[in-house]
Amino acid sequence: MCGIIGVTGNKRSVSILINGLKRLEYRGYDSAGIYVNDMNGHDYLIKRKGRISNLEAAINDNVNGMSGIGHTRWATHGEPNEVNAHPQYSADERFYLVHNGVIENFKQLKQEYLQDVHFKSQTDTEVVVQLVDRFVTKYQMDTKTALLKVLRLINPDSSYAFAMMDREQADTIYVAKNKSPLLIGLADGYNMVGSDAMSMIDETNKFMEIDDHELVIVKPDHVSIESFDSNEKHRKPFTVDMDASATDKGPYPFYMLKEIDEQSSVMRKLVQHYLPDGDPVIDDDLLAAMMKADHLYIIGAGTSYHAGLAGQRIFEALTGIHTSVHISSEFAYEHPLLSEHPFFIFLSQSGETADSREVLVQVNKHKWPSLTITNVDKSTLSREADYTLLIDAGPEIAVASTKAYTAQIAVEAILAKALGQKKEISAAEKFPLKSELSNIANGIQAITDGKDKIAAIAAHYLAKPRNAFYIGRGVDWSVALEAALKLKEISYVQSEGFASGELKHGTIALIENHTPVIGIITQDRTAGLTRSNLEETQSRGAAILTIVSRHLSMDDDTIIIPDVNELLTPLISIVPAQLLAYYTSLGKGLDVDKPRNLAKSVTVQ
Ligand code: AGP
């Protein structure tokens, strides 16, 4: 988490930095700051607690610079306040540093080298910038040598993306990374650094990758790259086609509602992209690599993990290959006995999740084949996996993931059909995916068109309770997990997704008068059982609600959703749950898009 932006050259830096920070606010929003230098002997450091708007309000017309660095923070070390906000700076106010990540051995470094230094902040970052200053002032190293020495002293398990400025070389930004994302942006007469391409897209669409353990020196007209052991590197820039206007909120009060509404058009776009004539258009090399697999391991976190659960049964049904789904932060440190020919599928909207990347690093060490299914082309997980499939969802800005979930499941289904067809599995050959996805696009639209009714249900049932449950069986349970995550993360209602048959084995003790229990019912085999489980909670005072496929519906069901193929019901049953979460949060007057304590891109382990 945390967003970094920097610029040096022939343009006024303040507005570029603020614009970049606004585009990066999804990465963290508890405090923000900039350091700018006018390359004429004047410099400015401004930091504020809270949102970028607070920082922007604190910058007056006198603040001018041609170079600068900026940061929006998601706190790891030290509470969110102005002192702990970045840039952190050295005691003599010569060096300024912004950082995303965690320095694992910062306490040891402080103890060993900086016992006599007075620290202003509680951050691990300040140790790094004070240490650079120590090596420059006490041991007369030049800035680059001092920074390289510090980088070599940082424990390799640490994660960092750094941008550092030295007021005595005001046109230069020193950049380094390990595990955390960072990109160089190349423009005409000025160059940039940023946590992602979107943060620089208003200035340039030409970028250069940085690998782990590289030091990059960014000047207005030149960028040099070298490894920590001082080998010069040459790298070709690449361009990114990105529509910056796609990040506009338009008439919507919050991005989340816009993104929920966009799901029907994302489905249609995926059909055009991957299924123009009905047969999936998927890279032959990818399919050939997957043909050798005896087990598919799907890896993800949060919503992406839930999208994997929905995909698991599609892969097994259409390809006949055993498929398992794993939470990345667990799999990285304790995984099951692996099969002889594993194939790894990484699901990640951002393509930057540190927990998932940790698994990919290990997978690459073993040279196991891998695919990333992501929304962000050239993201870290996309670059480092053998293959990438894009989910074409357009930028997802709200912290609560919605359209990425449905798009990930749709791409899993497309891939499963392609692989199944290659294996000549008749279930895959017969599966009418193109028409099903088109049908689903219409179904999603019908649900979002009826959002007023869902808003009223949220106001009636979910505004007051502290606890709520989503329940279901099989794939409906996997949707219950995602539905509960949506509700808890933006409305702060303590909500759990539960296997409906499991409630009576303990959790039913939590049911009180008016506790909402929402049943998801889309599968013929288990519909009756889930209804019985709902009734068991109703007998104990619960307020029961249902999200039910039309052909299984009864008179007093709460929300009836269009019928779709049983393998694909998560694409449609999640939509009312997304809207229930949205309207509950809205009704409480919360910031729907930026819930407390969270960030969109989780780049620390
Ligand atoms: C869900 O609403 C969250 N934004 C979160 O669970 C997210 O899905 C998770 O952090 C994984 O992110 P990724 O898909 O970008 O890897």
Q: What separation in Å is there between the alpha carbon of 399 and the centre of ligand 1?
A: 8
Token pair of 599, please? 């960030």
Run of H or E residues at 283: none
- The pLDDT score that the predictor gives to residue 597 is 81
Q: Read off the pLDDT of residues 204-224 as tens digits, 9 standing for 90 and up.
A: 999 999 999 999 999 999 999
Question: HSE (CB half, 13 Å, CA atoms) of 280?
Answer: 26
Q: What letter would DSSP give residue 336?
A: P
Q: Which of 390, 602, 604 to mutate for ligand 1's pocket (most ligand atoms within 8 Å of CB)?
A: 602
Q: Which of 26, 304, 486 to mutate for ligand 1's pocket (most ligand atoms within 8 Å of CB)?
A: 304
Please give the number of the atom of ligand 1 that sits closest to the Cα of 301: 11
Of 569, 589, 363, nearest to 479 by C-alpha is: 569
- For the question of residue 365 being annotated catalytic, the response is no
Q: Which of 177, 179, 269, 600 is catalytic?
A: 600
- The pLDDT score that the predictor gives to residue 257 is 97
Token pair of 313, please? 């049964």
Q: What separation in Å is there between the alpha carbon of 342 and the centre of ligand 1?
A: 24
Distance, in Å, from the CA atom of 25 to the CA atom of 481, rounded to the nearest integer, reads 27
Four-way CATH pick for 450-605: 3.40.50.10490, 3.40.50.300, 3.40.50.1010, 3.30.540.10: 3.40.50.10490
Nearest CA to ligand 1 atom 2: 400
Long-range contacts made by residues 20-24, C-beta under 8 angstroms, separation at least 24?
Answer: 20/70, 20/192, 20/194, 20/199, 20/200, 21/52, 21/55, 21/70, 21/71, 21/72, 21/199, 22/52, 23/196, 23/198, 23/199, 23/201, 23/202, 23/247, 24/72, 24/194, 24/195, 24/196, 24/198, 24/199
Sign of CA dihedral 350, 356, 361, 366: negative
Q: Amino acid identity, residue 464?
A: K
Token pair of 170, please? 């005001």
For the entire predicted model, the pTM comes to 0.85
- The pLDDT score that the predictor gives to residue 542 is 96
Domain ranges of the chain: 2-245, 249-447, 450-605
Token pair of 301, please? 């976190």
Q: Which of 389, 401, 492, 592 to mutate for ligand 1's pocket (most ligand atoms within 8 Å of CB)?
A: 401
270, 398 contact by CB (below 8 A): no
CA torsion angle for 418, 420, 424, 427 (degrees, to 10)?
-120
Q: What separation in Å is there between the alpha carbon of 63 and the centre of ligand 1?
A: 37
3-state secondary structure of 448: helix
- The pLDDT score that the predictor gives to residue 495 is 96
Can you state the angle between helices 570-587 and 475-491, rounded to 10 degrees?
Answer: 20
Please give the number of the atom of ligand 1 that sits closest to the Cα of 600: 4
Q: In terms of DSSP H, where are the helices of 236-321?
A: 255-261, 263-274, 284-291, 302-319
Distance, in Å, from the CA atom of 180 to the CA atom of 84, rounded to the nearest integer, reads 20
Distance, in Å, from the CA atom of 130 to the CA atom of 258, rounded to the nearest integer, reads 44
Note whether 249-447 and 450-605 share their fold: yes
Please give the number of the atom of ligand 1 that sits closest to the Cα of 601: 15
Residues with a CB atom less than 6 Å from ligand 1 = 301-304, 348-350, 353, 356, 399-401, 485, 489, 602
Of 317, 591, 580, 313, nearest to 468 by C-alpha is: 580
Write out residues in the chain with pLDDT < 70, as ranges.
none
Four-way CATH pick for 249-447: 3.60.15.10, 3.40.50.10490, 3.40.50.2300, 3.90.1170.40: 3.40.50.10490
Distance, in Å, from the CA atom of 518 to the CA atom of 481, rounded to the nearest integer, reads 12
Q: Which of 198, 303, 353 to mutate for ligand 1's pocket (most ligand atoms within 8 Å of CB)?
A: 303
Distance, in Å, from the CA atom of 151 to the CA atom of 161, rounded to the nearest integer, reads 11
Q: Amino acid identity, residue 476?
A: D
Q: What separation in Å is there between the alpha carbon of 354 and the centre of ligand 1?
A: 11
Q: Which of 2, 177, 179, 269 is catalytic?
A: 2
CA torsion angle for 67, 72, 76, 79 (degrees, to 10)?
110
87 prior amide bond cis, ω within 30: yes
Nearest CA to ligand 1 atom 9: 302
Sign of CA dihedral 427, 432, 434, 439: negative
CATH 3.40.50.300 fits 2-245, yes or no: no
Beta bridge partners of 561: 549
CA angle 583, 489, 403 (to 5 degrees): 70
Q: What letter would DSSP give residue 179?
A: B
Q: What separation in Å is there between the alpha carbon of 537 and the centre of ligand 1?
A: 31
Token pair of 82, please? 């102005």
Neighbours of 140 (CB within 10 A): 9
Nearest CA to ligand 1 atom 5: 302
**In this structure, are strands 159-166 and 183-186 parallel, antiparallel, or unpaired?**
unpaired
Q: Read off the pLDDT of residues 51-64 as tens digits, 9 standing for 90 and up.
A: 999 999 999 999 99
322, 420 contact by CB (below 8 A): no
Q: What separation in Å is there between the alpha carbon of 306 and the centre of ligand 1?
A: 10
- For the question of residue 588 being annotated catalytic, the response is no
Q: What separation in Å is there between the alpha carbon of 570 and the centre of ligand 1?
A: 17
Nearest CA to ligand 1 atom 16: 348
